[in-house]
Structure 1
Amino acid sequence: MHNHRPDTIGAALTDSPVGQLAWIAEKFKRRTTGGYRAPDVDRDQLLTNVSLYWFTRSGASIAQFYYESEHSGAGMSMTPGVPSGWAVFDTHPLMRRAMDPWRAIGHWSEFTEGGHFPAMEEPKLLADDLRTFFRSIS
């Protein structure tokens, strides 16, 4: 997943707009049979997303978050009694077993389409799922 140590990738994410672009563009790649394919997103959307990380200098901190989340050994914690919902896009079928082994998440949706940025890649699927979740708790 995100195995880059933040101290090794952080410089590229804060010192080079090309490094930031490469890191984010990699997140847009989607698995296909036999490899990966380039993202199907508008160039302006991609550059806007990269710019948000670049101009706020937050690339290294998000890399740190990913690294710590993956290597902390701490499990997921869900606050009891608080409605929660997850929509996962283009992920492994074992995702729920790993992220929600006790079935504590009340609303769980898996989509084969989309990827790391579903609001840009599959906005209708995400919006419909959000509507479904909020209707279920109102």
Structure 2
Amino acid sequence: MFSAPRIEVRVVQLASASPAVGAASDELAQASGSNSWFTGTSGPSANLYHEAFNDPSAWAPRPRGTVPMAVAVSLTQDVAVRRLAERDHHIVRWTELARGGHFLAAETPTALADDLREFFGSLS
């Protein structure tokens, strides 16, 4: 009989609020890269980008989405064009966070969790 290993998940806020500052972002990048490499998932992860880029239907016009969507972007490094996002998706919440970076959930978990709570609370 197969028994799944027990997995423990912990939320840890890193010391650095911005990936451009401090070693915390380096540690996160190294841990993330190591996780992909040691588990053999870096190739399949990269393949997703290859397939999406080489799929002609990915560039075809599509109808605007109808599912309510929230967007949280970090002003320290994320680049999102709101006009284009709103053109293609039903954006009901757009949050620009002053802190955090590419790994927003690890760098500012409280701010992201608060934003998610507000978004889902507004859907009722």
**Secondary structure at the residue paired with 2:90?**
coil
Q: Which residue is equivalent to 1:129? A: 115
**Secondary structure at the residue paired with 2:121?**
helix
Structure 1 residues 86 and 68: CA distance shift in structure 2, 3 A: farther
Task: Return the match for 1:118 from 101, 104, 113.
Answer: 104
Between the two proteins, the alignment pairs up a number of residues equal to 102
The Cα shift of 1:53 comes to 1.2
Q: Which residue is equivalent to 2:78? A: 91
- The gaps in structure 2 that reach 5 residues or longer are 1-17
- Say whether residues 1:54 and 2:54 are aligned partners: no
Structure 1 residues 58 and 113: CA distance shift in structure 2, 3 A: same
Partner Cα distance (1:69, 1:38) in 2 = 34
Structure 1 residues 69 and 47: CA distance shift in structure 2, 3 A: same
| Aligned counterparts, 1:1-138, within 5 A | 29-30=19-20, 40-41=24-25, 43=27, 45-69=28-52, 72-74=58-60, 79-80=65-66, 82-89=67-74, 90-92=77-79, 95-102=81-88, 104-138=90-124
Q: Does the 8 Å contact 1:86/1:109 carry over to 2?
A: yes
The Cα shift of 1:64 comes to 2.8
Letter in 1 for 2:34: S
The structure with higher relative contact order (CA 8 Å, sep 6+) is 2
Letter in 2 for 1:111: L
What TM-score, normalized to structure 2? Answer: 0.58
Q: Which has the larger radius of gyration?
A: 2
Partner Cα distance (1:85, 1:120) in 2 = 19
